Amino acid sequence: MDVLPGVDPRAPLLEVNDLHVEFRTRDGVAKAVNGANFWLSPGETLAILGESGCGKSVTAQAIMGILDSPPGFITKGEVRYRGLDLLTLSEAQRRKVRANKIAMIFQDALSALNPVYSVGFQLGELFRMHRGMSRADAKKRSVELLDLVKIPAARSRINDYPHQFSGGMRQRVMIAMALALDPEVLIADEPTTALDVTVQAQIMGLLADLQRERNMGLILITHDMGVVADVADRISVMYAGKVVEEAPVYDIYAKPAHPYTRALLESIPRLDMKGQQLNVIRGLPPALTDVPKGCAFNPRCRFAKDPCRSDPPPPAYAVAPHRTARCHFFREVLGE
């Protein structure tokens, strides 16, 4: 593969700065991502946490450059891989970044794999198209990949079709596909949501092992606080298209600095609260066509005061080193 111009090996692995994405539909403009910021280092796991429709998946697709456009448009911001802003690249150059440098796995492996091609074909395709390998060599590498993700009897399963695999095995195939070309960044968009709990744990374990072996940066998009606590190093909490809090995982669980994060943590069912009413966050996330003025969370927030209800929205306050929260009253939330 030819080297991408402008890549600086000493620059941070991945940086997303002030990313804005909107969907222009017949019913109006939906602002799905409104200034997302985060960074990722090699070997690190960053969890992006948030409710459905908060812009997690759209952010991931924008990083990959696979946003459906139209209706989706990136209106502002940068996605820097090793210092190179991917948004300025041509489509041909971006294609070389995908799978080679940044790869992605999706939520539902059954629909994410092509039903009419064998698993071997879909894996081998990567080697044939990106590395110019022959069919035979590509197949050999594909078998190795299935072995890598611990699919039993890989050699005999290589010609099977996606529907012949179980849910967990299919997600392993997806992981194999994403890791085929040794990417430095892996984005996993709710990789275990469609699986049952024991399989979830196996898949997360496999991902963690592979990440450690390859010193790969992992962005884990999820709404499952339990999964996050196990594997993430840092957490970015998204709400209405913005990162409202970013912090190391331990800090966030110990002392959330944003009311939304705090509400999320309080709404986890706990065994020691058995029989009591479960805390829920009242109200719904805002419609992205009509995000509230000021802090987008203010209508649902029990800390909200007047400044929260008017523009400008709260900036990213530095709560501690490597820790930010977009809340005017983060001290109050922290309970200081």
Partner 1 sequence: MFRYIVRRLLQMVLTFFGATFVVFALVFANQDDPLQALAGERPITESQRLALTERYHLDEGFFTQYGYYMKGLLTGDFGESLTQRKIADLLADAWPTTARLALLALVIAAVIAISAGVFSALRRGGVFDNVTLVATLIILAMPIVVIAPLAQLVFGIQLGWFPPTSGADPSLWALFLPALVLASSVLATQLRVTRTSVAENLRSDYVRTARAKGLSYRRVVSVHVLRNSLIPVITLIGVDLGQLMAGAIVTEGVFNIPGVGFNLVRAIRTEDGPLVVGFVSVLVIVFLVVNLLVDLLYAALDPRIRYE
Give the interface with partner 1 as residue ranges (CB under 8 A). 61, 64, 66, 68, 91, 95-100, 103-104, 106, 108, 111-118, 125-126, 129-130, 161, 163, 174, 177
**Among positive and negative, which fits the CA dihedral 162, 164, 166, 169?**
negative
Report the Cα 56 to chain-centroid distance in Å. Answer: 6
CB of 142 to partner 1, least distance (A): 13
Q: Which residues pair with 248 in a beta bridge?
A: 234
Write down the least CB distance from residue 191 to partner 1, Å. Answer: 13
Smallest distance from partner 1 to CB 120, Å? 12
Nearer to partner 1, 180 or 296 (CB): 180
Whole-angstrom Cα distance, residue 23 to residue 65?
A: 15
- In this complex, which beta carbon is closest to partner 1, that of residue 71 or of residue 307? 71
3-state class (DSSP) for residue 21: strand
**318's tokens:** 């530095």
Closer of 23 and 106 to partner 1 (Cβ): 106
**At its nearest, how many Å lie between partner 1 and the CB of residue 321?**
35
Q: Which sign, positive or negative, has the C-alpha torsion 277, 282, 283, 285?
A: negative
CB of 1 to partner 1, least distance (A): 10
In this complex, which beta carbon is closest to partner 1, that of residue 134 or of residue 267? Answer: 134
The 3-state DSSP class for residue 17 equals: strand
Q: CA-CA distances (angstroms) from residue 92 to 66, 97, 122, 125, 225?
A: 13, 9, 21, 17, 38
Closer residue to partner 1, CB minimum distance, 20 or 98: 98
CB 187 within 8 A of CB 16: no
128 membership: H or E segment, kind and range: helix 119-131
Whole-number minimum distance, CB 258 to partner 1, in Å? 31
Smallest separation, CB 158 to partner 1 (Å): 14
Q: Please state the φ and ψ torsions of residue 72, each to the nearest 5 degrees.
A: -85, 135
Residue closer to partner 1 by CB (options 60, 249) is 60
Give the nearer residue to partner 1 in terms of CB position, either 177 or 249.
177
Q: How far apart are CA 233 and CA 183, in angstroms?
A: 19
